[in-house]
Amino acid sequence: MKFKLLVLFIFLITACKQKREVNTSFYFWKTVYKQQKVENNILNTLNSKKLYIRIMDVDLNLDQKLIPIAPIKFVDSVPKNLEIVPVVFIVNNALKNQDERQLAQLAINILAFVQAKVLQAGAKSYKELQIDCDWTATTKTEYFTLLKLLKQHDKSKILSSTLRLHQLKNQEKSGIPPCDKVLLMCYNMGNLRKYGTQNSILDVEELKKYAGENLAFYPMNIDIALPLFSWCVVFRNQQYAGISKRLNLADLKNPELFTRKTDGLYTANTNLPAYGLIKNDEVRYEESKINALRETATYLTTFLSQKPISLIYYHLDYNLLKNYETHQLKEIANIFR
């Protein structure tokens, strides 16, 4: 333990003296891709070289077969100056009890589907494939087998996997995914369903419970994803009732609709069927504040190696990005350097 702490101390001192290369990118997490001038300007201003595009989800159908769910449609081509990184989200429970034959077929299907979508996006190929899955101890074997099979089928591609905070902290139980690098998702870290005023999207004190030396000693290159989104969490009789996708902060600040309580929660003044609410439902507004993003970056940077990293914001949507100045997003990237 003393040796590990000494190595960590030397690592932190060294990290303070060097600068790392940081490439700023975004996730695109919609089902239809259209070029938007404002979004393209933001990409250009931040000198983004990549765009991480969700291609599809993978889940079981009624016949218990793994199929693509909500695949993306490309109305426009992706700008030529952007490298496409296709992302495939796999529902964790869908992997349970899948044998190697089924996983081998899934790997083939994923690669074929991704290649077809990349062609639709206007590119000939891609360099990196990212698999997103909240794997657990019960699906670790299946998920890791799938990653190995994907790599075997195409060794020329960089294969990356998302990494959630619980997987980072519980490395012995969760295992280390057999891929080329991981992407640490630094959001959705609190207890969303807990009644009260906490921020379950981004909480630096909560982050510290998972990262630290777990991050510093992780045996693989790590990229970082940070949130640029907000949501409204609904409680009924102090019990979690879901996230309202129609509500926004302007609605909550409308005194005809809601009353803001002293604890920061908003109470519905009447039944609001358009939002799926009834009178006295309570709403917690959560957001990714720029100060919290700065604090997160400052904390994380001392535990990362000096190797080049990608900083990926979730996600590319002007309705979200208008809440931030581009110089603020540049500042976050500079903190990591």
Do 189 and 282 belong to one domain?
Answer: no
Q: Is residue 179 within 8 Å of 147, Cβ to Cβ? A: yes
Do 175 and 252 belong to one domain?
Answer: no
Q: Does pTM top 0.95 for this prediction?
A: no
Angle at 186 between CA 26 and CA 19, to 5 degrees: 75
Q: How many domains does the chain have?
A: 2
Provide the pLDDT for residue 3: 45
Provide the pLDDT for residue 19: 86
Instruction: Output the tens digit of pLDDT for each of the chain's 337 residues.
Output: 544 554 455 445 444 556 899 999 999 999 999 999 999 999 999 999 999 999 999 999 999 999 999 999 999 999 999 999 999 999 999 999 999 999 999 999 999 999 999 999 999 999 999 999 999 999 999 999 999 999 999 999 999 999 999 999 999 999 999 999 999 999 999 899 999 999 999 999 999 999 999 999 999 999 999 999 999 999 999 999 999 999 999 999 999 999 999 999 999 999 999 999 999 999 999 999 999 999 999 999 999 999 999 999 999 999 999 999 999 999 999 999 9
Provide the pLDDT for residue 52: 98
Do 225 and 259 belong to one domain?
Answer: no
Do 64 and 129 belong to one domain?
Answer: yes
Provide the pLDDT for residue 190: 86
Provide the pLDDT for residue 7: 46
Do 166 and 86 belong to one domain?
Answer: yes
Q: Tell me the C-alpha to C-alpha distance, in Å, between residue 279 and each of 97, 109, 231, 270, 303.
A: 44, 48, 20, 4, 47
Do 140 and 192 belong to one domain?
Answer: yes
Write the CATH number for 187.
3.20.20.80
Q: Could you list the residue range(s) of the whole structural domain that residue 234 is in?
A: 230-287
Strand partners, 130: 87, 160
Do 37 and 151 belong to one domain?
Answer: yes
Give, to the nearest 10 degrees, the angle between helix 100-120 and helix 140-153: 50
**At which of 247, 271, 287 does a domain end?**
287
Do 189 and 313 belong to one domain?
Answer: yes
Do 88 and 139 belong to one domain?
Answer: yes
